[in-house]
Amino acid sequence: MTENRTDIKSMTLPELEEYLSAAGEPKYRAAQLFRWMHATLAAGPEEMTNLPKTLLAYLSEDCTFNVPHLADRQISKIDGTQKFLFELGDGELVESVLMEYKFGCSVCVSSQVGCRMGCRFCASTLNGWKRNLTASEILEQIYSITRIAGKRISHAVVMGTGEPMDNYDSVVRFIRLLTDPAGQGLSQRNITVSTCGIVPGIRKLAEEDLSVTLALSLHAVTDEKRRQIMPVAEKWTIAECLDAMRYYFDRTGRQVTLEYSLIRGVNDSVRDAAALAGLAGPLHAHVNLIPVNPVRERDCAQPTGAAVNAFRAKLEKRKINVTIRRELGRDIDGACGQLRRRHIDTDA
Ligand code: SAH
């Protein structure tokens, strides 16, 4: 974000038309410019060869294109997962992850600089919240990775640093731009938004006429336990969260996901698994188990492999569709927010 400049890459096509017509340009220029930014992924005006020089000069003067500076890049020797640390226009740092699967390439993006949700097991929240990202700053994480790694991205997950429902408008704008057929044209079904359970946000998203996958970070089966590990649970109960997820499913027809990070001795008993099955079953939800990624500053240990398997088996026995999140990039500051945090620590 550069002060006072027009954030042109966050504009939809109609907004771009209005902006250019105010600058005395014909309407068709907007479609050209949109394609340069969102389809060709031009880094700046200097690459936009079919636009008039006067317009390019105007854009250079008036706009920011929000292409971040690559501050660090780590590539896992185990599975090829890549972590990118980007420096934004104002010097803030965000991290993004590129994962390759059989079905294509997926990028995990951050939606905020830092986070104010305070989940006890998460590294992203340790330094607090700094600011929201603009739609273009979220998009550019994917665009920059495409340029740097030379890979076409087919999937995106909003599961990096930040709470998407705490930056709702920019996240929805990001989804609309990323799925615009005149840009990268990702399928909405290939985008997953993960929330810690901000109920009004879930309900609002259900009414957006989008068909993205929605994941709820549940992590506990009783309100009492959930409040111990997720401060947001003070505001909304599990029942309220699940009602909102049901509403999302009813409105969009999209199967919802319940994420459940397994923390040894906290939420990993077979009894917890049975209760989780009782919550997921009626919702027809998919359950994604995440053996907790230990964070240095956090006192959370991973359950043993046997405990994870027993937990999964219990869910499967109750006919719940369950996956265990494959642990990618174990050797490269794997857990959410760890790469950024390491840089902040060394800079301080
Ligand atoms: N704010 C969003 C996105 C967070 S990151 C949300 O809360 O859903 C995506 C998932 O990773 C969330 O389910 C989050 O709770 C989980 N997570 C965060 N830190 C983790 C850790 N150290 N180990 C395992 N899962 C973690």
Q: Whose CA is nearest to atom 9 of ligand 1?
A: 159
Q: What is the pLDDT of residue 79?
A: 87
> Which residues share a beta bridge with 20?
none
> Cβ(184)–Cβ(36) under 8 Å?
no
**Is residue 75 domain-resident?**
yes
Q: What is the pLDDT of residue 132?
A: 98
Q: Whose CA is nearest to atom 20 of ligand 1?
A: 122
pLDDT tens track for 76-101: 998 889 999 999 999 999 999 999 99
**Is residue 19 domain-resident?**
yes
What is the CATH classification number for the domain harbouring 233?
A: 3.20.20.70
Q: What is the pLDDT of residue 348?
A: 39
Q: What is the pLDDT of residue 7?
A: 97
> Cα–Cα distances in Å, from 206 out to 26, 197, 324?
37, 14, 26
Q: Where does a domain end: 19, 45, 64?
A: 64
Q: Does 335 contact ligand 1 (Cβ within 6 A)?
A: yes
pTM for the full model?
Answer: 0.96
Q: Does 179 contact ligand 1 (Cβ within 6 A)?
A: no
**Is residue 56 domain-resident?**
yes
Q: Does 217 contact ligand 1 (Cβ within 6 A)?
A: yes
Neighbours of 307 (CB within 10 A): 18
**Mean pLDDT for back-to-back runs of 10 residues, the chain (348 residues):** 83 97 94 98 94 95 97 92 96 96 95 97 92 98 98 97 98 98 98 98 97 98 98 98 98 98 96 98 97 85 94 98 82 68 64
Give me ligand 1 centre to Cα 332, in Å: 17
- Do residue 36 and residue 113 come from a single domain? no
Q: What is the pLDDT of residue 295?
A: 82
- Do residue 25 and residue 127 come from a single domain? no
Q: Whose CA is nearest to atom 7 of ligand 1?
A: 196
Specify the ligand 1 atom closest to the Cα of 294: 22
By most ligand atoms within 8 Å of CB, the mutation choice from 109, 116, 138, 194 for ligand 1 is 194
**Is residue 1 domain-resident?**
no
Neighbours of 173 (CB within 10 A): 19
**Helix axis angle, 238-252 to 270-283, nearest 10°:** 40
Domain that holds residue 23: 6-64
Q: What is the set of active-site residues?
A: 95, 336
CA–CA gap between residue 264 and residue 308 (Å, rounded): 10
Which residue from 97, 93, 70 is spatially nearest to 332, judged by alpha carbons? 97
- Do residue 161 and residue 125 come from a single domain? yes
- Do residue 282 and residue 232 come from a single domain? yes
Q: Where does a domain end: 40, 64, 88?
A: 64
- Do residue 144 and residue 47 come from a single domain? no
Q: Whose CA is nearest to atom 12 of ligand 1?
A: 217
- Domain count along the chain: 2
- Do residue 112 and residue 195 come from a single domain? yes
- Do residue 139 and residue 187 come from a single domain? yes
